[in-house]
């Protein structure tokens, strides 16, 4: 197997990661920052960077196009710099490509989504060349994982009263 990468941005990177990591063919997921102005982005200071997801997948189990199809279904690609309550350029919708084939596939998928009429407004998702992907500091990831675990414990407790 020759694993491949997909990098997308579409709102809160934790939410994207949680949804994608459960998909068949997805081997690994990492959240981070991409496309900004500083070389050491942090959660509190990442000017111009988008919160993004880098995932490793098995192309024998799921294709790049299938992953993009899923991406366009799990976030609103028609809102500029916003996903739900998250507002700002950190939450913009982007597909990052690493080859001309990926670029063409992403642009084709956007045309397809627009043609379906699924959304009342046109897709504003950008298609950009993949650049350096910055991983967040471990402390942010630990805080997120701890919070997620606490939420799951609370849900379990409420369901089993």
- Active site positions, annotated: 12
User: Kind of pairing, strands 93-97 and 126-129?
Assistant: parallel
Task: Please compute Rg for the chain using Cα positions.
Answer: 16
Report the first-to-last Cα separation within the chain, whole angstroms: 46
Pairing of strands 126-129, 26-34: unpaired
d(CA 76, CA 25): 23
The Cα–Cα gap between 61 and 67 comes to: 11
């Amino acid at each position: 197997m020759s694993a491949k990468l997909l990098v997308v941005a579409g709102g809160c990177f934790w939410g994207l990661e949680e949804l994608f990591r459960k998909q068949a063919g997805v081997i690994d997921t990492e959240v981070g920052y991409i496309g900004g102005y500083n070389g050491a982005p942090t959660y509190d200071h990442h000017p111009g960077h988008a919160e993004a997801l880098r995932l490793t997948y098995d192309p024998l189990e799921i294709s790049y196009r299938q992953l993009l199809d899923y991406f366009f279904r799990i976030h609103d690609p028609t809102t500029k710099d916003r996903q739900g309550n998250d507002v700002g350029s950190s939450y913009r919708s982007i597909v990052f490509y690493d080859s001309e084939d990926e670029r063409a596939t992403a642009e084709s998928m956007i045309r397809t989504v627009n043609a379906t009429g699924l959304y009342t407004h046109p897709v504003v998702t950008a298609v950009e060349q993949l650049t350096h992907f910055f991983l967040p500091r471990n402390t942010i990831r630990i805080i997120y994982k701890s919070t997620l675990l606490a939420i799951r414990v609370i849900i379990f407790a409420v369901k089993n009263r």
